[in-house]
Structure 1
Amino acid sequence: MTDLIIAIVLCVAVAIAYAAAALIQARYAHLTVLELVRVPVLWLAIGLNGLGAALHVTSLNFGPLSLIQPLGVLTLVIAVPLAAVTAHRKATRLELTGMANTVIGLAGLALLVTTTGKPDTLTSAELTMLILATVAVVVVLGLLGRRPGASTLWEAIAGGLAFSVCSALCQTVVVRVGDTGAGALAWPSTIFAMISIATFAVVATVLTQRSYRNGLSAPLAVTNLVNPASATLIGVALLGEELATTNLEIAFAVVCAVLSGYGVAQLARARDAAAALPAPPAREPVGTSA
């Protein structure tokens, strides 16, 4: 019971760290990469993301993945109200409804779509294929998001995909070292994997940062949906995992996916509605005369 409590507390801490980082990133999402590196508080956001990742790994020592993964949606639960508070307004009914639908759908997917099998590693050919395919897809999605007037959700999808590939590559490196020792770190394919992990981590951070420029809620929800979904796909297709899901559970999972998509659409509409509101009038400085 103590381990379960520790796992839940760690998951809450992970969600707070990720939500706080997302709020900081959203505030500076309009800046270019060169401008961002000169913003000291952005490094705090990067540190919070790193802390969240470390706490997530730690939580797996105290609770099963079937518990940890669904609790990941707490990031959205915390971030949406906090975004409203920092904007000095109340969360709208559409935002709250969209958040609820997205969270219920994501939690359902995490509970229903599970995999089994001993952790495997990518072969050198699979690793190369995955990295090249990810680069191609992420570049295309990133370019779609840079078109004038394009939805920022393209970049959110690309960021979620890049994060999930980071996880798959990390698993390969960790399992290789665990199976064969530290000497595996000198293998060319392992070095290639580690360089790719660092590159994808930076790219994913930049893409998610940009996706927040018109609002936080919908892109954050999309990233939280794409990341585990693509990680599951990679696990089944390349890492020897098997879906431990019955036909009935698959049917319910489809319903959860539709509900999540509907929630994301609601969050996007709420963002667009907020953007359409007129800016509050500037306050006249005290002591000035008409």
Structure 2
Amino acid sequence: MNATLIAVALSLVSAGAYAAAAVAQARLAGRTEASAGALSLLGRGAWWSAVGLNAGGALLHVAALKYGPLTLVQPLGALTLVAAVPLGARSAGRRVSRTEWRGTLLTLIGLAALLLAAGGASPHDTLSLPEALGVGAVTMALVAALSRPGTRPGLRHAAASGVTSGVASALTQTLTVAATDHSGPLLSWRLVMVAALVSVFALGGLLLSQTAYRGGLGAPLAVVTLANPVAAAAIGLVLLGERLQGGLLGLVPALLGAGAAVQGVILLSRAARSAAGAVPAPADVTRQRSRVVITGGPVTAPRATEPLTLRPEPVGSPGGGPG
């Protein structure tokens, strides 16, 4: 089978696993207090389910990187958002809206154009130790800037998660290619340092995404989906010698595909936010029904939805009930 087809197939299954993990993380984030620390997640079964799904998706992603370049494999990660839309709607007990389907179609069209421009041979180049350390330092500085206190922390944390995940993919490709081409020792300072950076960035991306999903699934996942391939493709094009098909002419379908994919992601994000705002959470409905407002005047309770019917009771029955 063609190496490109293998990479695409593995990436599709990986995207499905990542989508299920994202939905599980979003549901867990909705049931977790904002003040709860990362250690509180260790006792939650839903957290470990999400970790298992992410691990499965990561393994499939690693296998895909063995057969395809970063510029091919990473754009397919956007299918995580496409798969998460029906999964999230089913989890919320609603149907997928027309806007969500439009966003899904645009994303798929954009991905198809990107694949035509990015499809290439199996990767052979790897990052040197100085390059890997330089990428790690730049990534840590960028994550620190995105994680600073300020407005809209969810989207900034999502961007940081996407960047760390994309960098982890680029570093993972170095590991897989170096470990399977048998051109050097399996244990070297370069591979040990790269493996350590992959572990740090993979775990950091998982925790950052968990924080980002406290604001919902759609918009944070869309930002992660966009930042991930951008970071990985930048490393592939700048440091690994990867090229777009067709040279400069290949930029035309790539740019058109990127524009369509971005528009699709925006539609999916808006639809997800609208759906979240239109349907209050069950816990919120319960609190609204049971709320009693205490002001400076008398205590007021919610108005009954049905008229109150008074029925005469026999005199002398204990507690006012039937004798």
Bin of the TM-score, shorter chain as denominator length? 0.7 to 0.9
What residue is the counterpart of 1:266 in the other structure? 267
Taking the aligned partners of 1:9 and 1:252, their CA distance within structure 2 comes to 22
Shift in Å, 1:161: 1.2
- In structure 2, relative to structure 1, the CA distance for the partners of 1:106 and 1:140 (3 Å cut) is farther
1:183 counterpart SS class: coil
What pairs with 1:102-117 in structure 2 (closer than 5 Å)?
Answer: 102-114=107-119
Q: Which residue does 1:47 correspond to in 2?
A: 52
What residue in structure 1 maps to residue 80 of structure 2?
75
Task: Report whether the alignment pairs 1:237 with 2:238.
Answer: yes
Residues 203-250 of structure 1 show CA distances to partners (whole Å, capped at 9, x for unaligned) of 111112222222223332332332222212101211233333333331
Query: 1:147 corresponds to which residue?
Result: 150
CA pair 237-9 structure 1, distance change in 2 beyond 3 A: closer
Greater C-alpha Rg: 2
Q: 1:152 to 1:110 in 2, by over 3 A?
A: farther
Mapping for residues 1-290 of structure 1, pairs under 5 Å: 10-30=10-30, 31=32, 32-58=37-63, 72-114=77-119, 119-143=124-148, 147-148=150-151, 150=152, 152-177=154-179, 178-184=182-188, 187=189, 189-277=190-278, 279=280, 281-282=285-286
Distance 1:245 1:217, change over 3 A: farther
Does 126-135 or 112-121 show the bigger shift? Answer: 112-121
TM-superposed deviation, 1:199:
0.7
CA 128–59 in structure 1, closer or farther in 2 if over 3 Å, else same: closer
* Cα distance change on mapping 1:235 and 1:43 into 2, 3 Å: same
Instruction: Pick closer, same or farther for the CA change 1:263–1:154 going to 2, 3 Å.
Output: farther
* Structure 1 residue 68: Cα displacement: 6.1
AA at the equivalent of 2:230: A
Q: CA deviation at 1:3?
A: 9.5
Shift of 1:75: 2.6
- CA distance in 2 between partners of 1:57 and 1:129 (Å): 22
TM-score by length of structure 1 reads: 0.81
Q: Report the secondary structure of 2:93's partner residue.
A: coil
Contact 1:80 1:216 in 2 (8 A): no
Letter paired with 1:233: A
**C-alpha distance in 2 between matches for 1:88 and 1:158:** 30
Contact 1:103–1:260 (8 Å) recurs in 2: yes
Contact 1:116–1:241 (Cα < 8 Å) also in 2:
no
| 8 A Cα contact 2:21 2:53, kept in partner | yes
- CA 1:5 to 1:98, structure 2 compared with 1: closer, same or farther past 3 Å? closer
TM-score by structure 2 length?
0.74
* Correspondence for 2:312: none
SS of aligned partner of 1:96? helix
Contact 2:62 2:172 in 1 (8 A): no
Q: Over aligned residue pairs, what C-alpha RMSD do you find?
A: 3.3
Q: 2-side partners of 1:3 and 1:40: how far apart? A: 37
Q: 1:215 to 1:16 in 2, by over 3 A?
A: same
Aligned pairs, number: 280
Shift of 1:60: 6.6
Identity in percent: 39
**Cα distance in 1 for residues equivalent to 2:128 and 2:5:** 38
Is the 1:28–1:36 Cα contact (8 Å) retained in structure 2?
no
Structure 2 unmatched runs, 5+? 291-307, 309-323
Residue 95 of structure 2 aligns to a residue in which SS? coil
1:203/1:262 CA distance change after superposition, 3 Å:
same
Q: Is the 8 A contact 1:117 1:242 kept in 2?
A: no
Q: Within 1, Cα distance between the matches of 2:134 and 2:225?
A: 24
Is the Cα–Cα contact under 8 Å of residues 218 and 273 in structure 2 kept in the other structure?
no
Aligned-residue offset at 1:58: 4.1
Question: How big is the shift at 1:190?
Answer: 3.2
Distance 2:59 2:20 in 1: 15
How many Å separate the matches in 2 of 1:274 and 1:113?
A: 34
Q: CA deviation at 1:24?
A: 0.6
Unaligned runs of 5+ in 1: none
